[in-house]
Amino acid sequence: PALLRQIEDQAATDDFQVPKESRNMVNGDTLTALPRALRGERLRKSFALLAALHLASDQKEAGRVALAGIAALVPADRWTIFLTTETGGAVSLTPLTCRRTDAAANLPFDGELQLELFDETHSTIAEASKATHEAAGRIEAIRKSESGRRLIALPLVNADRVLGVLEGIRERAGAQNFSRTEVSLLSSLAIPIAAALANSVRIADAERLSLTDDLTKLQNARYLRQFLVNEIKRARRYHSKVAALFLDLDDFKRINDLHGHLVGSHALMEMASVILPSVRDTDCVVRYGGDEFVVILPETGVDKAWRVADRIRAKIEQHRFSGGRRLDFSLSASFGIAVFPDHALSPQQLIACADTAMYEAKAAGKNCIRIISGDAASKNPDPSESLAVPSLFQRIPDEKLIS
């Protein structure tokens, strides 16, 4: 708020300077590119929009923030952002988010949009206008009338690529065309809006990659921790169970020694394709490290967990692996099972118990399943419910295959 008051005070003169406090949050070049005719409240809302765009965590949120800010600056009956998709040389438009508005709303500076702003965002969106389709292939705004409606369509360009189109419609009787001042303001704001949409995609991709195993494309141990913490919290709340299957491939070092690590890596990729069809969409399959995998089964007790483990074990045993080189070899796996709250009371202890049971299966001759015994479970103390990543979940080796 103090920063915004400073902006408003400076806006009363022709000597507007970007405050130093804002330069880490909003690109100064973007701010100074705003039309110099902006003064007072309009300038404040423009700056608030730019700051809020910077904080958007995903593409949908960036679109909603953009439309909430635009609606507060330029009156229209409907604002819509369409994303462009190019297939075979043809450009199609897909609605990202739409906002109908009867009155301008204030966009909070800190980007924490109030719930009423989202309540005005509608999922039912009309098809893109002819002007919008035309704007998808241009770099400047299009302003025209269609069927008695006043329209403006601005391409959202980032890195010389049209990411989408911002469409505004005034459809009430006697509605005025969008003025040159409004077009100038919208054209300036289209630049940071496009940047926010592009950045949100990059952020989402980076987050997804940080939670995904590069080799198998399964989830990784970091994702496992998040998933397991949430599922155990839910199980505590609803008095349900969560089962963990810990499986380790038997004698996998033999494959690496006979055929090389590239074949071993491909075998692990094949293993992912064997496990996934055997579980539900709500289950979590993780490459824990090397040739170890973990399967988390929400709302699952011991008996059902055993059946799932045996189904996976049988499919692994029956599958003929090629190693990506038209080879023909078989693999097997040893399974350990532990269930919350029967054997463990925390995420860390649940994984530790399943791991211990897996080693019991190895000792019993491999290619079999063991449930953690009561005595073994009692030897795995319940760690504190710390949000720090436990050392157990940090066993994520490089792509070197271990057995």
| Upstream peptide bond of 397 is cis (omega within 30 degrees of 0) | no
Instruction: Please count the residues of the chain.
Output: 403
Helix H or strand E segment including 61: helix 59-73
User: Could you tell me which of 200, 201, 243 has the C-alpha nearest to residue 337?
Assistant: 243
| Upstream peptide bond of 108 is cis (omega within 30 degrees of 0) | no
Strand duo 369-371 + 333-340: pairing: parallel
Q: What angle do CA 385, 387, 391 make, to 5 degrees?
A: 90
The gap from C-alpha 45 to its chain's centroid, in whole angstroms, comes to: 28
Tokens at 257, concatenated: 């020694």
Q: Which residue has the tokens 């459809």?
A: 171
For residue 11, count CB atoms less than 10 angstroms from its CB and return exposed for 0-12, middle for 13-18, buried for 19 or more: middle
Amino acid at 388: A
User: Could you tell me which of 245, 302, 251 has the C-alpha nearest to residue 278?
Assistant: 245
Partners of 243 in the β-ladder: 297, 339
Beta strands in 239-382 (DSSP E): 242-249, 284-289, 292-298, 333-340, 369-371
Tokens at 237, concatenated: 């709340």
Q: Which residues are catalytic?
A: 291
**Three-class SS state of 81:** strand
- Sheet (strand 78-87) strand order: 121-122, 90-100, 78-87, 161-170, 149-158, 142-146
Helix H or strand E segment including 320: none
Task: Determine contact, residues 259/323, Cβ cutoff 8 Å.
Answer: yes
